[in-house]
Structure formats: C-alpha cells, structure tokens
C-alpha cells in the first residue's frame, strides 16, 4: 500500500457536485492498494498514519500525532499512486490491485483508524472525486507498507 499523507487545516471530497466528506484540522490520506496487499498491510499502515508525529507541540516541533491532537482523518482511494511512467508517457497501472481487492482494503484502513478512536471520513471508491484541501505547513509525507520510502 502507498499513502500520500497531508497535514491539513481542512479537506473535502465532492462527487457529482455533492459534498460526501469534510474534515477540519487533521490528515488527508490518498491511498493506493497494490498487488499482494492484504489486511496485515492495511492494519499496519493505519497504525503508522494515526501515530505519525507531524503536528506541532507547544514549542512548534513536529512531535504530536493525529491521536494526540484529536484531529480527523480523510481517506481517499487513489489507484494512480501505483502508476509507473518510467518507460514512457502513459503510466502503467498493472501493479495496482484490482478494484474488488482494493476496495475492502481501503475500507480496512479506515476501520483500523477508527479503532484508534480517530474520526474518519472517506471518499467514494471508483468515483470521479474532486478533492479540495488546505495543506497546513505544507506538510506532506509518503508512506509505503513495504517501507521502500
């Protein structure tokens, strides 16, 4: 699994002009599921996300997590995180998991985060979404369940 984690002061998701998810201070996570990913990777990635210390403490140092701050989490599925454009101009998406595999794993990440007591909002799987955010900092972190980065 791959995640682009963005610290936000607000974020929202719209589908067909309708707002389906909105959060204030917290994290927006764009989440891609790859071939071979499963429930173990989903649980571990959720744990890493909610414990990631990227919020400022009283001294302004990034020392607090989403759990520490009581912030919310927005999880948006994005298979394009597995796009490989090393061989040409059109990305190859063959390393992304099939939708029937990916959707329950995206849901598993959201549910695992909820089990830590985090408020979680989600996008709509396989929908054309408009994601709006105000990146706070800006702070953007890349996570990979294989810990390649």
**Is 79 designated active site?**
yes
SS3 content of the chain, % helix, strand, coil (to 5): 25, 40, 35
3-state secondary structure of 41: helix
In the chain the domains, ranked by start, together with CATH numbers, are 2-144 (3.50.80.10)
Q: Encoding tokens for residue 39?
A: 């429930």
Over residues 14-32, mean pLDDT = 98
Q: Is the pTM of this model over 0.75?
A: yes
**Is 125 designated active site?**
no
Over residues 109-131, mean pLDDT = 98
Q: Which of 35, 40, 80, 126 is catalytic?
A: 80
Q: Which of 6, 41, 78, 122 is catalytic?
A: 78
Nearest alpha-carbon partner for 121 in 1, 33, 11:
11
**Is 116 designated active site?**
no
pLDDT digits (tens, 9 = 90+) for 38-83: 999 999 999 999 999 999 999 999 999 999 999 999 999 999 999 9
β-bridge pairing 26-32 and 72-77: parallel
Over residues 5-16, mean pLDDT = 98
């Amino acid at each position: 699994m791959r995640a682009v984690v963005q610290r936000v002061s607000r974020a929202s998701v719209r589908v067909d002009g309708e707002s389906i998810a909105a959060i204030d201070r917290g994290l927006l996570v764009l989440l891609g599921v790859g071939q071979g990913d499963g429930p173990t990777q989903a649980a571990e990635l959720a744990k890493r996300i909610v414990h990631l210390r990227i919020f400022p403490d009283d001294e302004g140092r990034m020392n607090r997590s989403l759990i520490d701050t009581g912030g919310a989490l927005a999880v948006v599925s994005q298979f394009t995180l597995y796009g490989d454009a090393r061989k040409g101009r059109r990305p190859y998406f063959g390393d992304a998991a099939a939708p029937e595999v990916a959707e329950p794993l995206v849901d598993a990440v959201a549910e695992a985060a909820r089990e830590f007591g985090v408020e979680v909002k989600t996008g709509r799987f396989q929908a054309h979404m408009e994601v709006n955010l105000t990146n706070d900092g800006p702070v953007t972190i890349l996570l990979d369940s294989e810990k390649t980065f």
